[in-house]
Structure 1
């Protein structure tokens, strides 16, 4: 083989072949890596009950145990002007509708002034001893900013609203979807009416499945 000008050059056939093989192997490995990372990539939870959160004692727990029930998720606080009224009305609702089909789920938050300054275990103990609440408490969380609790972010993203104060309430249906939310000053009677209606739907559906 001759180059331009008539000078002979060494054949590059073997080098080209080796380069082709190397390039093919590189592309193949790259494709396998992409497929592997795609399959191993953590799947974003599809609903509220798919999340894991910390309980008041710091232990990771799955919200899956509440699937099939209605849940009223509330960002609570111990030293808010609404604390006493809210805890008493939430406990009454929790007791009235029972835990077979419904639960109040309390998530303390300390991002609204000095309304929640204690540890998670203290917050739970205070609420139980002072107001006699029996509904589940979870670890103190953040619902705004870069350290937002993912489970609570799911709620706020679902309704495109972030709480402006303590005791916002999010109604989650048996499938883990948010169906309603209420601000702090919403009369509990209005909330009770809609929660009770959802609980009745759950009961009727279960009876029909028997």
Structure 2
């Protein structure tokens, strides 16, 4: 190839091709870099009960992670069931006996069993505290069955392959967030107390051994 005046000029074709390839590689690497944070920030799928986030009785988001390392007795409660008075009294007694350092009763109101739980979440909590003197944590009213089932509670029922047939079923969750047992509403509370106390003792012994 000749320029004006007859002097030869080297072809720039190979250089242009090299620059094009280099630019393409740079853009590709840049795109991967930009996409990386999105991949890293993708929420993890909950793997145990304490991995879930739920709503409290006032509608605020609460992470169940705060209960990790403790034993939890998760109960679907109701204000106007035939078991309400007896159940709340026994649950409060257990909650008070074993304390909150290693154990909590966690109450989830559910209105899917007739007219046994018709109020709002905040009313349900206030009613239970004023009428029965309960001090354990209350969460927002949930559904346990159907497509709108609360994911955290669905984890419990899936773990034991049982759906509650009525109010006050109890699910025992260990410090790692795994469901280890459940009780129907009509089963003796003494059995619940013994199992919960055994898990609490395991926590205490383990902590003492680590000192």
Indicate whether the TM-score tops 0.5: yes
1:155: which partner in 2?
156
C-alpha distance in 2, partners of 1:208/1:36? 41
For each residue in 1:173-195, what CA deviation from the matched residue of structure 2 results, as whole angstroms up to 9, or x when unmatched? 01111111111111000110111
* Deviation (angstroms), 1:51: 0.9
In structure 1, the gaps of 5 or more residues are 1-20
Gaps of 5+ in 2: 1-20
Structure 2 match to 1:169? 170
Give the 3-state SS of the residue equivalent to 1:157 in structure 2. helix
Counterpart CA distance in 2 for 1:34 and 1:63 is: 30
Q: Distance in 2 between matches of 1:129 and 1:118?
A: 15
In terms of Rg, which structure is larger? 2
Q: Which residue of 2 aligns with 1:101?
A: 102
**Superposition misfits of 4+ residues, deviation over 3 angstroms:** 31-41
> 2-side partners of 1:126 and 1:154: how far apart?
28
CA RMSD of aligned residues (A): 2.0
* Per-residue deviation, residues 139-175 of structure 1 (Å, max 9, x unmatched): 0000011111111111111111111110000000011
d(CA) in 2 for partners of 1:91, 1:121: 19
Q: Distance in 1 between matches of 2:37 and 2:210?
A: 41
Q: How does 1:1-210 map to 2 (within 5 A)?
A: 39-210=40-211
The 2-side partners of 1:108 and 1:120 are apart by 7
Tell me the alpha carbon deviations over residues 53-101 of structure 1, each in whole angstroms, 9 at most, x when there is no partner. Answer: 1100111111111111000000000000000000000000000000000
Could you say which residue in structure 2 is the equivalent of 1:17?
A: none
CA displacement at 1:41 relative to structure 2:
3.9
| Post-superposition CA distance 1:12-52 (Å, at most 9, x none) | xxxxxxxxx9xx99xx79x9699887655432111111111
Give the TM-score normalised by the residue count of structure 2. 0.82
TM value normalised by structure 1: 0.82
Distance 1:53 1:108 in 2: 13
